[in-house]
């Protein structure tokens, strides 16, 4: 079983360079395993046409799975800067009869604001039921058994992934266990979600100004900035109000991001993503 993402290209990427143009490349992260394209020199509309593959072994994809994508500006010296990012759900390719979908996704900056940039992607998935279709047909005819109507769901799936590191920091990707969504209503109703941000420990860097950002269904809340520490204590409670069906709500993810800010002359000049984590 394999999951394949074809990074076709991007359009209208924001230019971060004062002189010349950026050298963009794409990084895709699926459950802590990263794949990336080559960089294209001085181009705001790059074409990569690069296939990025993940070997799934015998474990099928689940409806709540997604791929995190960053488009970065390649630098010969120094940190590769974030141009834009997005999260691509895999539920459409799972439900597709052909197990292949094509999409265009608009990028967001590190503050979750939409940018002018868009990426063109193709997703392909070879699932276990398709792989067994050739050998299972005769057995089904002989025994009279019926093929399953849906992909199997592993209710105990989910474990911490391997530590990942990069120019933005060091983190641990965690994919939670998911249960079957049977019996959930598709009628919208009011929900209130409360999320409390307690603290962070052993953040990347020794003398940073960290802030935590939590995003749910395109709604974002941000904690106060804690100056000159890599173990901030926030103790802040956030409320989110939604009108959505339960079946849609439980397919969404909660995104946590820890960024650090630079201060010059008492003002905030810039911030960089330090650590991110998705959960639901």
CA 203 remoteness from chain centre: 20
pLDDT at residue 64 in the model: 87
Tokens for 75, please give them. 């630098």
Tokens for 168, please give them. 């933005």
For residue 110, give the nearest of 89, 84, 79 by alpha carbon. Answer: 84
The Cα–Cα gap between 126 and 94 comes to: 9
* Of the listed ranges 13-27, 159-173, 214-228, the one predicted with least confidence: 159-173
The Cα–Cα gap between 49 and 30 comes to: 19
For residue 250, give the nearest of 166, 206, 186, 202 by alpha carbon. Answer: 186
The Cα–Cα gap between 188 and 272 comes to: 37
Looking at residue 228, the DSSP 8-state letter turns out to be S
- Enumerate the domain spans of the chain: 1-137, 187-280
pLDDT at residue 277 in the model: 52
User: Hey, is 216 helix, strand or coil?
Assistant: strand
Residues 126-142: tens digit of each pLDDT: 865 554 554 444 444 44
pLDDT at residue 110 in the model: 86
For residue 258, give the nearest of 219, 229, 238, 218 by alpha carbon. Answer: 229
Average pLDDT over residues 179-201: 79
Residues 60-90: tens digit of each pLDDT: 888 889 999 999 999 888 889 999 999 999 9
Domain boundaries 1-137, CATH class: mainly beta
Average pLDDT over residues 32-40: 94
Fold match between domain 1-137 and domain 187-280: yes
Tokens for 40, please give them. 């294209």
pLDDT at residue 104 in the model: 93
Q: Is the pLDDT of residue 153 over 50?
A: no
pLDDT-derived band of residue 144, with 50, 70 and 90 as boundaries? very low
For residue 30, give the nearest of 52, 14, 8 by alpha carbon. Answer: 52
Cβ-Cβ contacts under 8 Å for 85 (sequence gap 6 or more): 68, 69, 70, 71, 107, 108, 109, 110
Please tell me the CATH superfamily of domain 187-280, with its number: C2 domain (2.60.40.150)
Q: Is the pLDDT of residue 230 over 90?
A: no
pLDDT at residue 89 in the model: 92
Tokens for 130, please give them. 């398709």
Greater confidence (242 vs 42) lies with 42
CA-CA-CA-CA dihedral for 75, 83, 231, 199, to nearest 10: -160
The Cα–Cα gap between 197 and 212 comes to: 8
Cβ atoms of 70 and 105 within 8 Å: the answer is no
Greater confidence (247 vs 233) lies with 233
Cβ atoms of 70 and 76 within 8 Å: the answer is no
Longest dimension (CA), the chain: 79
The Cα–Cα gap between 161 and 213 comes to: 22
User: Hey, is 206 helix, strand or coil?
Assistant: coil
pLDDT at residue 175 in the model: 41
Average pLDDT over residues 174-198: 71
């Amino acid at each position: 079983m394999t999951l394949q993402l074809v990074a076709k290209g991007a359009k209208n990427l924001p230019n971060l360079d004062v002189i010349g143009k950026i050298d963009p490349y794409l990084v895709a992260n699926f459950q802590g395993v990263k794949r990336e394209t080559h960089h294209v020199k001085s181009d705001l509309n790059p074409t990569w046409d690069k296939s990025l593959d993940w070997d799934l072994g015998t474990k099928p994809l689940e409806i709540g799975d997604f791929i995190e994508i960053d488009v970065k500006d390649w630098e010969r010296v120094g940190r590769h800067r974030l141009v834009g990012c997005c999260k691509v759900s895999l539920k459409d390719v799972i439900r597709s009869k052909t197990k292949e979908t094509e999409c265009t996704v608009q990028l967001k900056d590190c503050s979750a604001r939409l940018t002018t940039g868009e990426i063109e992607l193709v997703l392909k998935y070879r699932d276990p039921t398709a792989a067994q279709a050739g050998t299972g047909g005769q057995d089904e005819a002989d025994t009279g058994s019926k093929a399953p109507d849906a992909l199997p769901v592993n209710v105990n799936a989910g474990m911490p992934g391997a530590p990942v590191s990069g120019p933005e920091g060091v983190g641990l990707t965690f994919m939670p266990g998911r249960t079957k969504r049977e019996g959930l209503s598709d009628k919208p109703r009011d929900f209130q979600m409360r999320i409390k941000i307690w603290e962070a420990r052993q953040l990347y860097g020794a003398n940073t100004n960290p802030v935590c950002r939590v995003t749910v269904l395109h709604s974002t809340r941000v904690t106060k900035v804690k100056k000159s520490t890599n173990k901030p204590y926030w103790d802040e409670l956030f409320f989110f109000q939604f009108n959505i069906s339960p079946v849609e709500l439980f397919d969404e993810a909660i995104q946590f991001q820890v960024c650090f800010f630079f201060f010059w002359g008492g003002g905030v000049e810039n911030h960089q993503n330090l650590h991110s984590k998705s959960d639901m």
